[in-house]
A and B are shown apart, each in its own frame.
Chain A
């Protein structure tokens, strides 16, 4: 009972703190000076139509490299925690999972290529439209999830997935280093021509970086999903 009272009091204190914050909150009616610079100069400076992408990939590109690293570490952690857990349970043999109904299987055969293509579309157009590497990669991974729903015994080709993931991670860092030698600094996108504003091949190395991030996130999340499914 004392515990419940304690929980209630804690929540009440936090709620009072939040209320104080919310009651003084006024929606901004203009941009902060830093954001103003990004919005005013970003399109000419970097050639990206999507300013969130300009911030994520170039202005704060180092954060994004850290983010990709965290995602990689968590995928590795999931692999480490869940690898070989079937071998320990030799006592209770793992029966094959039931395949789902024909309806689901047919629908997935139709939807899987579209889902994958949509994921690629999202990360290729990340510098022009809402979306980007992480979103596109998540769509690709949801395609993998569809596959596992229809065919629970499906297996991913670990060789190809591993190669693709290492290649894209390495490529991302390499593109960042090229920025140091050929342009203004690490992850600077301007060592490739900026091109015509708003076209697919524009904004320097930004589409390249987002394609690599998209491939990396897509393969990583697919492998994580397969780990959770159990092999």
Chain B
């Protein structure tokens, strides 16, 4: 049995999501938590792109390599790519805000461990 590119990408994405989830659950350092979040994010992107892949398809760009009349049968789905483009940018914005929160917490407490952030603990 041969494994297709899309299945391989899907598996990689799901594995990255699991690693990211593990990081979020098991790590106590704020930077590592943010890294876990980024891994989870990236994993989701790869899963979305692999769902949009059409077997044997090429990039959805009409140029010399793609005949416009046959484009429907030769290109991959452009919609997941566009969604992932949006998701990457928003992930970047969220990561930037999380990192600045980490900087502020480090300014105040001189530590990056989440164990020391006990103010809102019930």
Answer whether residue A155 sits at the interface, using C-beta atoms and an 8 A cutoff: no
Distance in angstroms from B41 CB to nearest chain A CB is 14
Closest CB-CB distance, B70 to chain A, in whole Å? 10
Chain B residues near A27 (CB-CB < 8 A) = 4-7, 50, 53-55
Contact B68 A227 (CB under 8 A): no
- Chain B residues near A102 (CB, 8 Å)? none
Task: List the one stretch of A36-44, A113-121, A145-153, A161-169 in contact with chain B.
Answer: A36-44
State whether B89 touches A11 (Cβ < 8 A). no
Bound-state Cα–Cα, A71 to B88, Å: 11
The chain B residue sitting closest to A73, CB to CB, is: B93
B61: interface (CB < 8 Å): yes
* A–B Cβ pairs within 8 angstroms, 10 of them: A27-B6, A27-B7, A27-B55, A31-B72, A60-B82, A67-B86, A71-B93, A74-B97, A81-B104, A228-B99
Task: Please report the C-alpha to C-alpha distance between residue A4 and residue B101 in the assembled complex, in whole angstroms.
Answer: 27
Which residue of chain A lies nearest to B85 when distances are taken between CB atoms in the complex?
A: A56
Whether A11 and B85, one on each chain, are in contact in the complex, defined by CB atoms closer than 8 angstroms, is: no
Q: B interface, by DSSP: helix, strand, loop or mixed?
A: helix
Are A38 and B78 within 8 A (Cβ)? yes
Interface pair B21/A129, CB less than 8 Å apart: no
* Most A C-beta atoms less than 10 A away, residue of B51, B54, B77, B101: B77
Q: How far is the CB of A139 from chain B (nearest CB, A)?
A: 14
CB distance from A100 to the nearest CB of B (A): 22
Contact B55 A28 (CB under 8 A): yes
A40-B72, A67-B90 are contacts. A35–B79 as well, Cβ < 8 Å?
A: yes
Q: Report the bound CA distance from A220 to B67 in whole Å.
A: 38
Can you name the residue of chain A whose Cβ is closest to the Cβ of B76? A31
Total interface residues in chain A, CB < 8 Å: 57
In whole Å, how far is B90's beta carbon from the nearest beta carbon of chain A?
Answer: 5
CA distance A50 to B78 in the complex (A): 9
A85 touches B82 (CB 8 A): no
Q: Which B residues, 33 to 77, have Cβ-Cβ distances below 8 Å to chain A?
A: 50-55, 59-63, 68, 71-73, 75, 77
Name A52's contact: one of B14, B18, B60, B101 (CB within 8 Å).
Answer: B60
Closest 9 CB pairs of A and B: A74-B93, A27-B6, A51-B60, A55-B82, A81-B100, A51-B78, A18-B14, A35-B77, A56-B82
Q: How would residues 23 to 65 of chain A score, 1 for a CB under 8 Å from any chain B CB and 0 otherwise?
A: 0010111111011101110010000011110111000100110
Tell me, rounded to whole Å, the shortest Cβ–Cβ distance linking A126 to chain B: 11
Taken together as a complex, chains A and B put the C-alpha atoms of A95 and B90 apart, in Å, by 34
Residues in A53-104 with C-beta less than 8 Å from chain B: 54-56, 60, 63-64, 67, 70-71, 73-75, 77-78, 81-82, 85, 88-89
A77 contacts B97, CB within 8 Å?
yes
Cα of A73 to Cα of B93 in the assembled complex, Å: 8
**A195 contacts B by Cβ under 8 Å:** no
Q: How far is the CA of A16 from the CA of B20 in the complex (A)?
A: 16
B111 to chain A, nearest CB (A): 16
B62 touches A51 (CB 8 A): yes
Minimal Cβ-Cβ distance residue in B for A35: B77
Q: Is the CB of A52 within 8 A of B78?
A: yes
